[in-house]
Amino acid sequence: MIDLPKTPSLRLDGLRALVTGASSGIGLGCAVALAEAGADVVLASRNIKALNEVAQAIKVKGFSVETLELDISDLSSITSVFKDQKPFDVLVNSAGLGRHSPATETIVDDFDEVMDVNLRGAYFLTQSVAKGLIKAKKPGSLINISSQMGHVGGVDRAVYAASKHAVEGFTKAMAIEWGCHQIRVNTICPTFIRTPLTQSTFDNPDRKKWIEDKIKLGRVGEVEDVMGAVVFLASNASSMITGSALMIDGGWTAD
């Protein structure tokens, strides 16, 4: 009789997952997806009121969830939080910020604010989770929510694209360093996803046409388009994937 291979499970039972930016949009969707897959999810955000509302909605569904007030742009806050935390098996770093303008009009405050969250905060949060796993001698899956703009450029998005290109770079370097600890580090790179934060872009007819012309599948992204991907990268189904970028861009970067 043929010994058939067994498909790895997408279940996350018994795993502890930290999701930043979990109070809305992509972060909220990722948190729900991980909870549905069985993970014990810790929601993190600066907006603790919105976070508690999300947590309550997840609890009503019978899933395990906790909340954590965290501003990843404040490195002392990250240090303080991780002093008392058990290791996280999964990280979804979804906290992000955009300050869009023509490159000739970029101001230093906007540049610094974006980099503090998208790059510096993401870097040191990923570092902190990895340190906890290495100390505990546990494997893990660390997922940075990047962007298609980490691979291409876009009008009025020089600062945002710079921050996400940098995320792609440190993700690859960390994957190389921590592979020996069985810690995987990857990015998810969505196209424009319909959320409250992107609504102003969709409200601009010129920007909306530019987006629709670039997306080969003929529609904009929805939060649900990211949810399956995050479960896949968090689970054993992706156990040989590290240092990679999973494009969820409807074919934008295929050109």
DSSP string, 37-65: TT-EEEEEES-HHHHHHHHHHHHHTT--E
pTM for the predicted model, two decimal places: 0.95
The letter for the amino acid at 131 is K
Cβ atoms 24, 55 nearer than 8 A: no
* C-alpha to C-alpha distance for 108 and 29, rounded to whole angstroms: 32
CATH number for 16-254 (one of 3.20.20.100, 3.30.70.100, 3.40.50.720, 3.40.190.120): it is: 3.40.50.720
Helix (H, G, I), strand (E, B) or coil at 246: strand
Question: In the chain, where does DSSP find H-type helix?
Answer: 25-36, 48-60, 75-83, 108-115, 122-136, 158-178, 199-202, 205-214, 224-234
* C-alpha to C-alpha distance for 171 and 241, rounded to whole angstroms: 12
pLDDT for 139 equals: 98
pLDDT for 117 equals: 96
Helices 108-115 and 158-178 pack at an angle, to 10 degrees, of 30
- Residue 58 structure tokens: 């997840």
pLDDT for 236 equals: 97
216 — phi, psi (to 5°)? -70, -25
Selecting among 63, 88, 123, 160, the annotated active-site residue is 160
Q: Which residues pair with 142 in a beta bridge?
A: 91, 185
pLDDT for 76 equals: 93
Closest CA to 44 of 25, 31, 33, 34: 31
Q: Which residues pair with 18 in a beta bridge?
A: 42, 91
- The sign of the dihedral angle between the CA atoms of 18, 112, 201, 50 is positive
- Residue 71 structure tokens: 């501003």
For 144, which DSSP code?
E
- Residue 30 structure tokens: 């990722």
What is the pLDDT tens value at each position of the chain, 255 positions in all?
999 999 999 999 999 999 999 999 999 999 999 999 999 999 999 989 999 999 999 999 999 999 999 999 999 999 998 988 899 999 999 998 889 899 999 999 999 999 999 999 999 999 999 999 999 999 999 999 999 999 999 888 999 999 999 999 999 999 999 999 999 999 999 999 998 778 888 888 888 888 989 999 988 999 999 999 999 999 999 999 999 999 999 999 998
Residue with tokens 């990895």: 130
pLDDT for 116 equals: 96
The answer to whether residue 160 is catalytic is yes
* C-alpha to C-alpha distance for 239 and 96, rounded to whole angstroms: 26
Q: What's the start-to-end Cα distance of the chain, in Å? A: 46
| Half-sphere exposure at residue 28, Cβ-oriented, CA atoms within 13 angstroms | 20
